[in-house]
Each structure stands twice: as structure tokens, then as C-alpha cells.
Amino acid sequence: MSKLQGKIALITGGNSGIGLATAKLFAQEGATVIITGRDQVTLDTAAREIGDGTIAIRSDAGQLADLDALFQQIKTEFGGLDILFANAGIFKNAPLADSTEALYQELFDINVKGVFFTIQKAESLLRDSGAIVINASTVAHVGTPGASLYAATKAAVRQLARNLSMELAARRIRVNVVSPGVTHTAIFGRLGYSEEQAAAGFAHLAGEIPLRRVGQPEEIAKAVLFLASDDSSYVVGEEILVDGGYSTIGTPGVQR
């Protein structure tokens, strides 16, 4: 298992959920992993979990000054990067009438502006034939009440992969997207729900999914690994939906 032997990989938001699962998988595959997040305590715990040699850097993806400091540190310590997983993002929902300017700003600052400038600032450090993977979402493919702003941020970054693939093609840097469906992470906890409520929430959502279960972070991580490794050497500007069939199937529940 050494698909990423000798590679240096940056995973933003690598201290929990999909980011953490991906960091662990990348490390298992031989990569040196750098993770970022907003909370030093969870970063340190995550780095220990991922294993020796993991670098954890406190950095808010929505703050350009943080990004500048992050890439300066990577440049000094490593000189370059092979893989960037632009994973940091937040989920918040609100119906149209209750969507405030502050909510709009928060979602777009982290999920779009943060991703765009992370890639911009990473570009000069990325080696030729590197890989960029952006974390989007299946919600950009379906209508979900209350998720309009979140879905719009994810549709925006899905499109980024197309345009940036064109711009980076001369350096053979591939930009692709992973779009998870409902994934078993701490998302409900972050929205203020109890563990019991979170379990009930996931169980309810599982009923909406053809495979009748929510995804595990490790399953998303494997798609990211495919896109980050040479296994996907002819895949560029493309997206992998890892959603148990959620977005492609209109009315699950029929015929079972």
C-alpha cells in the first residue's frame, strides 16, 4: 500500500470527519501529511492519530492572512507540495426568509473564497503533475430545502475544478472534485444536536438513500485517494459522486 510514497499532501480541515479519514489513508499510503484546522487541540489529537511525521498547522481557511502564513511555513519546511485536498468547509442551513447576510458571508467566505485562495496560494508550491481535489457535495445536484446557500457554495467550487484544470493543464496538475452524500461525521453535533438526535437524524436520512445507509468518512477518503493518486491519471476536471445513489435517483423506496 504505497500509492502516495514520497508525496507531500496538504489537507485543509484535516482534523475531523472526511479530512481526518483522508489524512489517515494518505499516511497509510506513504504520504507525508500536513493538516490544518481552526482548533489547536483537535489538531494535535488528530496529528497523533494520523501518526508520526504528521504536521498540524492552525489555519482558518476563510482568513487570507492565515493562508499566507500556512504556505510560507510549508515552503520553508518542505519546499513544495504534491497533493492538495481543499476540504475545509462548513455546513449551515436556513430557509430563504431566514438567511442573513452574516450567514451568506460565513458560508461563502469559508467554502468558496477559502477554497479559491487556498488553491491560488498553493499553486506556486505544487509540483508539476500534482493533484488538487476539492470537496464539494451531492447537494449541488439536487434541491434541498434550506440548503440553498450551502449548495450554491458547493456548486461554485465544482465549477472551479473545470476552469482551474484548464489553467493548470500545462503543468499537468489535475483538479478534480469529490462530492460526498450524507456522511457520518460530527456535523449534527456542530449544529447543536445531541448524540441521540444526531443518530435519529442519520437514521432518517438513511431512509432517503438507495443504499439505505449514510456514508462513512473512510469511503469518501478512498475516492479522494483515487483522485489524488496516479490511478486517475486521465481524470481531470471531473467529479466523483460518493453518495450511495442519493442524487442520481429521484424516488428511492420504490421496488424494494
Partner 1 sequence: MSKLQGKTALITGGNSGIGLATAKEFLAQGADQVIITGRNQQALDLAVQELGDKAQSILCDSTQMTHIRQLAEAVKALTPSLDIIYINAGISEFAPLEHITEDHYDHVFGTNVKGVVFTVQQLLPLLNEGASIILCSTAGVQKGFPGASVYVASKAALAGFIRIWATELAGRKIRVNSISPGFTNTPLFDKVGLSEEQKQGAMELYNSKVLMGRFALPDEIAKSVTYLASNDSSYVTGTDLLVDGGYKLT
Q: Which of residues 210-229 bind partner 1 (CB under 8 A)?
A: 210-212, 215-216, 219-220, 222-223, 225-226
Residues annotated catalytic, as ranges: 150
Q: Which of residues 160-179 bind partner 1 (CB under 8 A)?
A: 162, 165-166, 169, 172
Note whether 224 and 85 are within 8 A (CB): yes
Measured in whole angstroms, the distance separating CA 186 from the mean position of its chain's CA atoms is 14
Of residues 255, 178, 240, 179, the one with CA closest to residue 210: 255
The residue among 36 and 179 lying less far from partner 1, judged by its C-beta, is 179
SS3 126: strand
Q: Does 233 bind partner 1 (CB under 8 A)?
A: yes
SS3 33: strand
Note whether 3 and 27 are within 8 A (CB): no
The residue among 156 and 249 lying less far from partner 1, judged by its C-beta, is 249
SS3 176: strand
The residue among 81 and 227 lying less far from partner 1, judged by its C-beta, is 227
Q: Does 19 bind partner 1 (CB under 8 A)?
A: no
Residue 116, all three cell numbers: 479559491
- List residues binding partner 1 (CB under 8 A): 162, 165-166, 169, 172, 181, 210-212, 215-216, 219-220, 222-223, 225-226, 231-238, 240-245, 248-249, 252, 254-256
